[in-house]
Amino acid sequence: MTAAVLGMPAAETPDPKPSCVDDPVCGQIWRWTRSEWFAEGSNYLVVKPLTILLILLLAFLLRYLLHRTINRLVRSTSESKIPAVLKPLRERIPTAAPDPEAIYPERRRQRAEAIGSVLRSMTTAVVFAIAALQILSELSFNLAPLLASAGIAGVALGFGAQTLVKDLIAGLFMLLEDQYGVGDVVDLGEATGVVESVGLRITTVRDARGVVWYIRNGEIIRVGNKSQGWAMVIVDMPIGFARTEEATAVLKTAAASVAVDPELAPELVEPPEVVGVEQITVDGAVIRTVAKTTAEGQLPVSRELRRRLAEALENSGITAGIAATRMFPRPAAPPEDPGTGQGGPT
Model confidence at 323: pLDDT above 60 = no
- Taking each helix axis from N to C terminus, what angle separates 318-327 and 244-259, rounded to the nearest 10 degrees? 130
Of the listed ranges 21-30, 191-200, 217-226, 304-313, the one predicted with least confidence: 21-30
Asked if the model's pLDDT at residue 344 lies above 70, the reply is no
The mean pLDDT value for 112-120 works out to 77
- 114 Cβ contact partners less than 8 Å away, ≥ 6 residues apart: 171, 175, 198, 199, 200
Q: Residue 197 has what pLDDT?
A: 82
Q: Measuring CA to CA, which residue among 255, 261, 285 is closest to residue 273?
A: 255
**pLDDT score recorded for residue 116:** 80
pLDDT top residue among 304 and 228: 304
pLDDT of residue 263: 87
Q: Which of 154-158, 203-207, 211-215, 248-252 has the lowest mean pLDDT?
A: 154-158
Mean pLDDT score across all residues of the chain: 75
Between 142 and 25, whose confidence is greater?
142
> Which has more pLDDT, 159 or 187?
187
Q: Region 129-156: what's the mean pLDDT?
A: 78
Report if pTM > 0.75: no
- What is the spatial order of strands in the sheet that 212-216 belongs to? 212-216, 202-207, 192-198, 185-187, 224-225
- Give the Å distances, CA to CA, from 1 to 8, 10, 169, 240, 256: 11, 12, 90, 143, 132
Give residue 143's pLDDT: 72
Residue percentage of the chain with pLDDT more than 70: 67
Helix, strand, coil percent values for the chain (each to nearest 5): 55, 20, 30
Mean pLDDT value across residues 275-292: 88
- pLDDT for 133 equals 85
Residue 314: pLDDT above 50?
A: yes
Among 3-7, 173-177, 201-205, name the one with the lowest average pLDDT. Answer: 3-7
Kindly indicate the confidence band of residue 59, based on its pLDDT and cuts at 50, 70 and 90: very high
Q: Is pLDDT above 90 for 58?
A: yes
**pLDDT recorded at residue 76:** 74
Q: Determine whether 300 is exposed, middle or buried from the number of CB atoms within 10 Å of its CB (0-12, 13-18, 19+).
A: middle
Higher-confidence position of 160 and 242: 242
